[in-house]
């Protein structure tokens, strides 16, 4: 089994051009940050910007240059220990929770490392067109996209702990505004029962191994909300005492909420009688029409219970998403904040916020872990986590497809996570 299953982009854009553009976007995201900013690690789940820039480079070096260049010598061999994330087969690694302590190498040395590895990749591509090589470069670019998203969510969390509430970016884009009357979270669309195929078609595009193999599953009739739950919807939950009612919560969720003192989404702030939200553009008034985000699975489930609904399964979500174009508020918009629904027909199934599903992150029928160290990419995390679908305002649109599965633990909140309601018929 190959380490990545895909058909190369059928456009006329050369792979090396796409590679350099993707690598440059990481540098573009870091341009407005100081070296001090790039050193911050605000919690064990997050990583410093500098670490993301180095780790994505390490990935290309370890899985491509070492594999395809005979007697390859790394310009920085000690980086294998510092910037390995979780690949046991690649050797020992520096403790994740202490990545913020890696003050050396400097950011200038990391930039030089990126340039050295990129030059080697470009030289390799002029000499070798092996299908496995191209497969791994495609995987590496998609891996970089995931870390571009993490770079943004991690710096947001770090800046949220600064009492000055600094803006990470001077954003040229601005969230669209919607009419206060436009709320689609209480309108539902019915989907008929049936046996359907799910997962990727191996003959169409790149995909992560956890998105396959293609398989059939029966889905009972259900209804799905036309819109995402908004900040205004969530504020009603807060005012109704939703965070103080244990009947609404899963036992583990109630314990987490009590231990962490949850009373609202992660980045909400109340000043006097007014609510604000901390964003990558600083502290801004809470937009009641925008999708709620930065909530845990536990919070999403409690809210659904309060509304007499439930979270959709990932199969239900995928059925609805197939009929929708992949368009919306993604990273390339440079807004980096969830936007309200634009029209009554805009279901916002892609972009803005990742949508929690009630589906545990488990393998599809017939799934096999790829051979080698790259097999550690997804398979070994299929325990104790839940699937989210749809991408967010910090997800690169190039990566989005209806089959894309991301996954997080039910207590985690720092990602751009929101929800959509579903009901049984």
Looking at residue 2, its pLDDT comes to 33
Cα separation, 263 vs 55, whole angstroms: 35
Residue 5 clears pLDDT 50, i.e. is over it = no
- The answer to whether 53 and 150 are in contact (CB under 8 A) is no
Question: What crossing angle do the helices spanning 297-306 and 231-239 adopt, rounded to 10°?
Answer: 70
Listed in order, strand segments (DSSP E) in 138-200 are 188-191, 194-198
* Pick from 198, 231, 195: nearest CA to 213: 198
DSSP reduced 3-state for 278: strand
Count other C-beta atoms under 10 Å from residue 370's C-beta: 18
Contact 373, 63 (CB under 8 A): yes
Q: Which of 170-174, 220-224, 346-350 has the highest mean pLDDT?
A: 220-224
Is it the case that residue 178 has pLDDT exceeding 60? no
For 264-273, b/e burial (b = at least 16 CB within 10 A) is bbbbbeeeee
In the chain, count of helices (H) and strands (E)? Answer: 10, 12
Over residues 279-333, the pLDDT tens digits come to 999 999 999 999 999 999 999 999 999 999 999 999 999 999 998 899 999 999 9
The pLDDT-based confidence of 3 (bands split at 50, 70, 90) is: very low
At residue 204, the pLDDT reads 60
Contact 296, 411 (CB under 8 A): yes
Neighbours of 150 (CB within 10 A): 21
What DSSP string runs through 312-345? Answer: PPHHHHHHHHHTS-S-SS-GGGS--S-----STT
Q: Are 5 and 207 within 8 A, CB to CB? A: yes
Q: pLDDT per residue over 16-64, tens digit each?
A: 999 999 999 999 999 999 999 999 999 999 999 999 999 999 999 999 9
Of 388, 386, 409, 381, nearest to 86 by C-alpha is 381
Average pLDDT over residues 182-192: 87
pLDDT for residue 174: 55
Q: Is the pLDDT of residue 226 over 50?
A: yes
User: Cis bond leading into 213, ω under 30°?
Assistant: yes
Q: Is 69 exposed, middle or buried (0-12, 13-18, 19+ CB in 10 A)?
A: middle
Q: 342 falls in which pLDDT band (50, 70, 90)?
A: confident
Dihedral sign of CA atoms 81, 44, 408, 156 in order:
negative
**pLDDT class of 177 with cuts at 50, 70, 90:** low
pLDDT reading at 94 higher than 70: yes
- Sequence-distant (6+) residues with CB within 8 A of 358 are 301, 310, 311, 312, 313, 386
What percentage of residues in the chain have a pLDDT greater than 90? Answer: 84
Kind plus residue range of the DSSP H or E element containing 260 = helix 251-260
Residue 205 in tokens:
């595009």
Asked if the model's pLDDT at residue 176 lies above 90, the reply is no
pTM here is 0.94
Q: What is the pLDDT of residue 203?
A: 63
Q: Under a CB-based contact definition with an 8 Å cutoff, are residues 304 and 419 in contact?
A: yes
């Amino acid at each position: 089994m190959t380490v990545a299953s895909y058909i190369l982009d059928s456009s006329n854009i050369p792979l090396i051009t796409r590679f350099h553009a993707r690598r440059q976007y990481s540098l573009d995201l870091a341009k407005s940050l100081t070296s001090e900013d790039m050193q911050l690690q605000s919690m064990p789940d997050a990583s410093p910007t500098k670490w993301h820039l180095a780790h994505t480079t390490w990935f290309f070096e370890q899985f491509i240059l070492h594999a395809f260049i005979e007697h390859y010598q790394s310009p920085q061999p000690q980086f294998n220990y510092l910037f390995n994330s979780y690949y046991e087969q690649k050797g020992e690694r520096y403790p994740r929770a202490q990545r913020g302590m890696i003050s050396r190498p400097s950011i200038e040395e990391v930039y030089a490392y990126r340039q050295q590895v990129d030059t080697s990749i470009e030289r390799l591509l002029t000499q070798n067109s092996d299908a496995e090589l191209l497969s791994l470069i495609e995987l590496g670019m998609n891996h970089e996209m995931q870390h571009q998203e993490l770079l943004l969510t991690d710096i947001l969390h770090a800046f949220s702990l600064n009492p000055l509430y600094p803006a990470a970016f001077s954003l040229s884009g601005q969230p669209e505004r919607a009419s206060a009357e436009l709320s689609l979270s209480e309108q539902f669309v019915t989907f008929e029962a049936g046996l359907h195929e799910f997962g990727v078609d191996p003959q169409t595009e790149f995909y992560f191994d956890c998105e396959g193999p293609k398989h059939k599953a029966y889905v009972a009739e259900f209804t799905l909300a036309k819109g995402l739950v908004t900040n205004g919807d969530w504020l009603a939950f807060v005012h109704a005492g939703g965070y103080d009612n244990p009947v609404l919560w899963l036992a583990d969720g109630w314990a987490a909420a009590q231990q962490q003192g949850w009373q609202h989404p992660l980045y909400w702030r109340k000043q006097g009688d007014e609510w604000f939200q901390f964003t990558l553009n600083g502290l801004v008034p809470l937009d009641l029409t925008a999708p709620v985000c930065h909530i845990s699975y536990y919070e999403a489930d409690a809210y659904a219970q309060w509304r007499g609904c439930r979270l959709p399964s990932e199969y239900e979500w995928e059925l609805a998403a197939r009929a929708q174009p992949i368009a919306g508020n993604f990273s390339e918009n440079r807004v980096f904040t969830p936007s309200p629904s634009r029209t009554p027909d805009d279901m916002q199934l892609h972009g803005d916020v990742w949508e929690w599903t009630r589906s545990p992150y488990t393998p599809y029928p017939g799934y096999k872990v790829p051979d080698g160290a790259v097999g550690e990419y997804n398979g070994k995390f299929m325990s104790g986590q839940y699937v989210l679908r749809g991408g967010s305002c910090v997800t690169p649109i190039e990566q989005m497809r209806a089959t894309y599965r991301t996954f997080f633990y039910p207590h985690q909140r720092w990602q751009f996570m929101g929800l959509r309601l579903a009901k049984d018929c």
